[in-house]
Amino acid sequence: MKNYIFLFISAFTFCSCSTEVSNEPDQRDLAPIESDIKVTLLEHLSEEGPEFKIRSETVELQPCINFYLTTEFNYAPEGLKINYPGIYKPEVCFTALGPATSEKIFPYENGTFEVEFVNEGVSNKGELIVDDEKYFMKLFSPVNVFVDKETLYKIPENSYWGIIGYHEESSAGLAQKFRNELKAENAVFKQYKDGNYGYFEVVNGKMQLPKLHGYWFAEPVIFQFDGGVEQLKEIMANFASEHGEEINISLNSSRGDEIHSYSL
């Protein structure tokens, strides 16, 4: 069976703040942005645990996919100010349309924080609210910066999600067989709350499939499993040894793992 890879990636006055410039080209080398900026809330997932991440990107597509959005961060426990001085254009152009982007991780725990985004000298103020369940960011009167999805739910610990894909309708029973094998190993197929989780979305209690997945038939799968990633890989490898020609399974985890049955 052909293999497919799926990757489900006014100024504040602060005390004891830190300022960082994410990219360091000379300001004279920067091109004007001339675009609104879309802000996306994400979780950076790793073995050390999830961290809050902000991705910024121009709405207008750039002619070179390696153009990046130079970004200055003024971070403090009370809040955050992000300024976008311009777009840096490297000498070598990777010819493909795409936005100019930047990403940054911020260590915000539960609480309410002021935020401000400055694009081409225009201030866009708002607030960030963090609780045990979610992140919520709202800009009060956005002008040229907007938040794509204001609420980001935190991915529960020991979660795995992904896609079961196959090219023959008769293989649908194998998808259920895989779920049954997971249940036998104490995986829990709980219902996740409706909303945006950054890497996937849940609507009416069901995880939504990506728009492009490359299969004739595909099913989403999401569950919690406390047995550990190595045990899960063993389950998937055993399943693939028997059914790998008929079905592929690709999973991501709340610890940042990517697991594909065809590579085990």
Nearest Cα neighbor of 178 from 263, 252, 248 is 248
Distance of CA 120 to the CA centre of its chain: 26
CA distance 254 to 192: 14
SS3 138: strand
Q: For residue 121, what are the contacts with CB-CB under 8 A and spacing of at least 6?
A: none
Q: 141, exposed or middle or buried, with CB in 10 Å at 0-12, 13-18, 19+?
A: exposed
CA distance 76 to 18: 6
pLDDT of residue 28: 56
- Delimit the domains of the chain by residue range: 18-153, 159-263
Record the pTM.
0.86
pLDDT of residue 25: 53
Amino acid identity, position 162: G
pLDDT of residue 78: 87
CA distance 210 to 192: 17
Strands (E), 89-142: 95-98, 101-106, 111-119, 122-130, 134-139
pLDDT of residue 42: 97
H-helix segments, the chain:
172-184, 229-243
Instruction: Name the token pair of 50.
Output: 């999830």
Q: Which residues pair with 215 in a beta bridge?
A: none
Per-residue confidence of the chain (264 residues) as pLDDT tens digits?
Answer: 444 333 333 333 333 345 554 445 555 579 999 999 999 999 999 999 999 999 999 999 999 999 999 999 998 888 999 999 999 999 999 999 999 999 999 988 899 999 999 999 999 999 999 999 999 999 999 999 999 999 999 999 999 999 999 999 999 999 999 999 999 999 999 999 999 999 999 999 999 998 888 899 999 999 999 999 999 999 999 999 999 999 999 999 999 999 999 999
Q: Which residues pair with 30 in a beta bridge?
A: 88
Looking at residue 160, the DSSP 8-state letter turns out to be: E
pLDDT of residue 13: 35
Q: Is 87 left (phi over 0), alpha (psi -120 to 50) or beta?
A: beta
CA distance 74 to 12: 9
Indicate the class that CATH gives domain 159-263. alpha beta
Instruction: Name the helix (H) or strand (E) containing 152.
Output: strand 151-153
CA distance 163 to 221: 6
**Distances, alpha carbon 31 to alpha carbons 91, 150, 204, in Å:** 13, 29, 44
Task: Give me the residue label for tokens 């990506």.
Answer: 210
